[in-house]
Amino acid sequence: MHSARDNASRPAIAPLLLAIGLSASSFLTGTSALALSELQKTPGQVEQSAPGQGGDKPAPSPTSPGVPMPDPLVNSQAGQSNDKTPGAEDSSKPVEVIYDISKVPEPVRKMREQIVEAAASGDLERLRPLLGTGATQTQVTVGEPTDDPISALKDLSGDPEGDEILAILLDVISTGFVHVGQGTPDEMFVWPYFAEKDLKALTPPERVELLRIVTAGDLSDMQEFGGYNFYRLGITPDGKWKYFTAGD
C-alpha cells in the first residue's frame, strides 16, 4: 500500500512518454523529408551548395559555356526556298521578274519598242519587217515553220483583220519579263514572266496581272495543267525576235 507522499515523489510517467514519442516523430519526419528530397533529384543534376559551404562556386547558368543553346530557327532554314519555279535555271532560286526595260541590252529594248509600235498601230502588216525570213524567221506556230507568218497570225486571231492577236501581243509584252538561259545558246528575254513561274504560288497582285491576259477559267486550267500555256514572246540578247507562240 502506497502513501500519498510516494505518489508525489514519482515523476509523471504519461507526460514523459508523450515527450519521448514527439521527439521520435520529429526525427522520423525529418528523415523522411530528407529521403524524399534525395529521391526527387534528377539523374545528373548538380547539387547546389549554399553560400559558404563546399566552396563559393556559383551554380551553372543556362548560358554558361558547355551548355549549347538551340540553333536559331533562321539558321536551320538557311538555303531553303519554297519558290521553286519550273523553267528557272536553278530551281532552288526564285525567278527574278524584271520590269525595268533599261536593264536589258539595247538590241532587246529596241526590238521590243518596235513590236509595241507595230501592234499599237492596228496594222498587222507592220509586224512583217520584224519577223525576219528564212532560218531567222520568228516562230509563230508550234511545230513546222510557216511560209507566211503574218497570214498564220491572222488565222490565229478571232477576227479577220488580226486585231485580237495584236491586242494579245501588246498585253503580253506589257508585263514583267524574265532573263533565262544565261551563258547558253538558249539565252532569252521572255514575256510574260508567268511562262517561268509556278502558277500555284502566285501572289494576289500577280494573279491580277495574269488575269489581264487570260480568263479565270484559263488560269484554273493552267494550274491543273501545271504551267502557263498561253502566248509568250522571246527576244534574244542580240535583238532577234525568236518566237511568239502559245503552248507549254
Mean residue pLDDT of the chain comes to 75
Is 67's pLDDT higher than 70? Answer: no
- The three-state secondary structure class of 195 is helix
Looking at residue 125, its pLDDT comes to 97
The whole-number pLDDT of residue 146 equals 86
Res 65 pLDDT > 50: no
pTM: 0.63
**165 membership: H or E segment, kind and range:** helix 163-173
Q: What's the confidence (pLDDT) of residue 157?
A: 96
For the segment 95-106, what is each residue's pLDDT rounded down to a tens digit?
899 999 999 999
Residue owning grid cell 514583267? 176
Q: What is the pLDDT of residue 42?
A: 42
Q: Where are the beta strands (DSSP E) in 93-195?
A: 178-180, 188-191
Residue type, position 94, single letter: P
Which domains are delineated in the chain? Answer: 104-246 (3.10.450)
Cα–Cα distance measured from residue 234 to residue 189, given in angstroms and rounded to the nearest whole number: 6
* Alpha-helix residue ranges (DSSP H) falling in 40-69: none
Share of the chain above pLDDT 90, in %: 57
pLDDT digits (tens, 9 = 90+) for 171-211: 999 999 999 999 999 999 999 999 999 999 999 999 999 99
Find the distance separating the first CA and the last CA of the chain, reported in whole Å: 126
Average pLDDT over residues 116-130: 97
